[in-house]
Amino acid sequence: MATRKEKINFTIQRLRGFLATFARTKRGLAGVAILVIFTLIALLAPVLAPHDPVKDRFVGGYQAKPEWYDKLFPADPQSHNFIPMTNPGFNNPESLSDFNITKTSSLVSVYHNPTLGKDAPGSLAVEYKNPSSTPAGTQSVNITKEFYYPHQRPLAQISFYAQFYVEGSTYMKENKVLLDVPVNISLVIYRVVNETTKITTDIFRYNELIHPYELPLIGTSLDARRTVTEPTTTWIPNPVSRLDSNNLRGPIFGTDVTIDITNDTLNQPANYIYSVELVFLDTAPRKSNVQTTVYVDDLNLKGLGTAYGLFGTDREGRDIYSQLIYGTQISLLVGLSSAGISVVIGLIVGMIAGYSGGAIDELIMRITDALLVIPNLPLLLVLVAVLGPNLWNLILVIGVLGWMGFARVIRSVILSLKERPFIEAAKAVGAGNVHIMLIHILPNIMALVYVTLAMTVPSAIVAEAALSWLGLFDPAVMSWGRILYDVQQGLNIDKWWWVVPPGLLISIVALSFIFIGHALDEILNPRLRQRR
């Protein structure tokens, strides 16, 4: 009897021999190398991919081209994501220096408020304070930021952000709380026409008068339909506007306003000025010692370019590079799990049929034949369409429909194996059926199992891709097939940077498994070597 140590040594030796043979097959090695790379990509996806493949919408413009596109085709210039503001959140007092602030009166003071803020503490406070009882007329404050827009082409989409929070002394009228000094807020973008004399044209203007306003005594947001009764330090989200190429209609400053502005607001390389203009209207007779403070936060301008990322973006502005990276996970997961399911079922069915023989064998094999005859893809389609497309259903259905061929092979191998003398010997010693199958037969067919596993993965990967491409994908995950579905649905086949990569990745991964399978086949079935 061999000792345990000898056994282990024997196993190690065999493994070494196997690896040495494997290292000699070029294709096998290439397959393993590719597989290792893709496994690493799949595992490191959260690190490698900057965005979530499904949820992160509009990280770039709609159907943006890749970042490198205009370097390849300089005749077709692109715009890139553009965010001129460096510290829009006013998180520290220095951030005020980013802006140029002009005011008309000493009644107005502009300072940094370190506590109040939208998401993070800190905001820009503009305070109008008049202790006297005579109105001081209109007083204005301009907060401007000059920036340079470098691109030849307009952006795909521009969003303006500004958060306002108004508090101040008030009076009651007809059950409404009104500001003593109403304030008019304008957002303006100017283009500097002449650099030296600073002549500007007003290319975008948005105005809103904050006067008839339901203002609780301590604090409020500017959303008129929401009355804040508690003293609050949290800001209620109040995006000023989100501007696309389409006109957007949305609640802005509490009222529905349609703004006609197109994405070519910034349409040529030039200096532009983004300006917030506050006009305090201290004109009506009122009590003495009045005050209105406007807190400004998240003063931002975000432009989405017509080019973004390594592979551009899809119809919802999602990063295709991230989708490709995350798609690796799905392909490998579906491929391996489905192939695993297929092989296990095929192994069990084939072993039972081959070992038991007789009527059971006949019955099992007829069912196998029947399933083998039914066309695979239509059945897959129908089943997934009926069960509902989620990832586990896909894996299960692909796996459950892929075992038949393997079961037949296993059966025929076992038919010959079970007549061998060593099985007879085991039977003579009194070994049970299960024992014989697991201890004596299984190790003899493991080589076949490995080969089949490697050869089944590609078809599972391609099947998943096909189903996803047909629209039967799990909405929560992004697979390579689904990327191509998006291409097809949006009639975007002309966008080669979007069409080529997913299919290429599917083919490479599938091919790597085929290579490994063939290499294993050659090593584990030495009979084949002369034929090839």
Which residues bind to another protein, rule: CB under 8 A? 366, 369-370, 373-379, 381-383, 385-388, 458-459, 462, 465-466, 469-472, 481, 484, 487-488, 493-494, 496, 499-500, 502-503, 506-507, 510-511, 514, 518, 531-532
Residue closest to 479 by CA, chosen among 509, 512, 511: 509
Question: Which tokens is 120 given?
Answer: 């993070």
Cα 48 from chain centroid? 12
In residues, how long is the chain? 532
Residue closest to 496 by CA, chosen among 320, 318, 330: 320
Q: Which residues are 111's β-sheet partners?
A: 125
Question: Which tokens is 180 given?
Answer: 């003593």
Distant-in-sequence, close-in-space partners of 280: CB < 8 Å, separation ≥ 6? 108, 128, 138, 139, 140, 141, 181, 182, 183, 292
CB of 327 to another protein, least distance (A): 13
Q: Beta strands of 287-343 (E only): which ranges?
A: 290-304
For another protein, the closer of residues 130 and 479 by Cβ is 479
- DSSP assignment string, 175-217: TEEEESS-EEEEEEEEEEEETTTTEEEEEEEEEEEE-S----S
CB of 70 to another protein, least distance (A): 20
- Decide if 98 contacts 242 (C-beta within 8 A): no
CB of 320 to another protein, least distance (A): 15
CB of 521 to another protein, least distance (A): 12
For another protein, the closer of residues 291 and 376 by Cβ is 376
For another protein, the closer of residues 176 and 366 by Cβ is 366
Residue closest to 301 by CA, chosen among 145, 112, 504: 145
For another protein, the closer of residues 352 and 380 by Cβ is 380
CB of 375 to another protein, least distance (A): 4
Please report, as a single letter, which amino acid is at residue 12.
I
CB of 366 to another protein, least distance (A): 7
Backbone angles phi, psi at 280, to 5 degrees: -85, 125
CB of 402 to another protein, least distance (A): 13
Question: Which tokens is 259 given?
Answer: 């703004």
For another protein, the closer of residues 79 and 342 by Cβ is 342
For another protein, the closer of residues 221 and 452 by Cβ is 452
For another protein, the closer of residues 352 and 397 by Cβ is 397
For another protein, the closer of residues 108 and 509 by Cβ is 509
CB of 347 to another protein, least distance (A): 23
